[in-house]
Amino acid sequence: MNRFVLPVVVFLALAGVLYIGVRHSPNKSTMVSALLGKPAPPFELPVLGDPARKFNSRELAGRPWVLNVWGTWCGECRVEHDTLLAIAQQNRVPLVGLNWKDDDEAAQQWLTQLGNPYGVVAADREGRTAINFGVYGAPETFFIDADGMVQYRHVGAMTAEVWQREFLSRLPKAGMP
Amino acid sequence: MKRLWVALLLVSSAAFAVDTTVLPDPELQQRYEALTHELRCMQCMNNSIADSPVGLASDLRRDVKELLETGKTDDEIRAYMVQRYGNVILFTPPMSGSSAWVWILPALAAIAGLLIGVRIVRRRTSLVDQDESVVDSEEKAQ
């Protein structure tokens, strides 16, 4: 009897380790941003549709805002677009678009045809701002608090449920100064 | 003939290489190649940025090249990547914090395996001794 105990214990331990490995394998939904709780990297980029103007992320210092990374080449961005439009209608928090490695003309056409949920869209043509944010696949959406800290990153298409649970809940209560 | 095959192989592998960056300084080139092979392409989990044709990988290679040219050390470049993407971007995780167990566990398993192996060998050799003694006594009896 005794000689079976050790192999069974070893087997269960190994199975447990492998199970954890399979459950926590890095995939889009489980990867936590390395920037959480850290200052959002500041950036200054030309505004889409008005390249003479520059958008500086410091313009939003002192209040919470949301950064949505998108591109016209990205299929999931099309999927989340209607949700973003609905979010923009609520008008609870500034929504900044980061148009990642895209074509100016295609991006403008996209917004004209589908509607523009963004207060402003910054054009990241070389992908440097996206790398500073640790972006690895569009769409990604970041919540940045009033102190300029990254509080949350959602990878994949935004949904009404994620918006409610992870973004609206992080806004200061209405009525606060 | 053999030389021809080797030459053909070399030519074809160069033709299929994703990354054709060449830095003027051979020492920098060597460090560039080593670094791009140890950084994960985040979009295609099990490729390095050296082997991946996707846009993000080429952007990360550009960053590695620029950082090398501005005189950054290998460790500073790794830290630059980890700061943005986390430890997961390194194929070799650090030995500290929560990733330490991936180093400790295999070592423990190897030691345990060695101990079990030694025990089995010891037990079997002692059995062989007993067998011989039986044979001896039978021979003596004859």
- CATH number, position A82: 3.40.30.10
User: Chain B residues with CB inside 8 Å of A136's CB?
Assistant: 42-43, 56, 85
Q: Is B76 on the interface with A (CB under 8 A)?
A: no
Nearest to A34 among B45, B85, B105 (CB): B85
ipTM above 0.85, yes or no: no
Q: Is the pTM of this model over 0.80?
A: no
Provide the shortest C-alpha distance from residue B5 to chain A (in Å): 40
Task: Please check whether residues B46 and B108 belong to one and the same domain.
Answer: no
- For residue B37, give both structure tokens: 């092979």
Task: Please check whether residues B76 and B9 belong to one and the same domain.
Answer: yes
- Rounded Cα distance between A30 and A75, Å, is 20
Nearest to A134 among B43, B45, B85 (CB): B85
pLDDT tens sequence across A74-105 = 999 999 999 999 999 999 999 999 999 999 99
Task: Please check whether residues B41 and B106 belong to one and the same domain.
Answer: no
**Residue A152: inside a domain:** yes
Give residue B102's domain range.
95-142
Q: Which of A37, A36, A54 is nearest to A45 (CA)?
A: A54
pLDDT tens sequence across A8-36 = 998 999 999 889 888 776 555 557 789 99
Nearest to B43 among A132, A134, A136 (CB): A136
Nearest-CA residue of chain B relative to A73?
Answer: B55
- For residue B96, give both structure tokens: 């500290």
Contact: A101, B83; criterion CB under 8 Å: no
Task: Please check whether residues B122 and B55 belong to one and the same domain.
Answer: no
- Rounded Cα distance between A35 and A41, Å, is 9
Task: Please check whether residues B45 and B7 belong to one and the same domain.
Answer: yes
Domains in chain A: how many in total?
1
Those residues whose C-beta lies under 8 Å from the C-beta of residue A170, and which sit 6 or more positions away, are A64, A143, A145, A151, A152
Task: Please check whether residues B88 and B105 belong to one and the same domain.
Answer: no
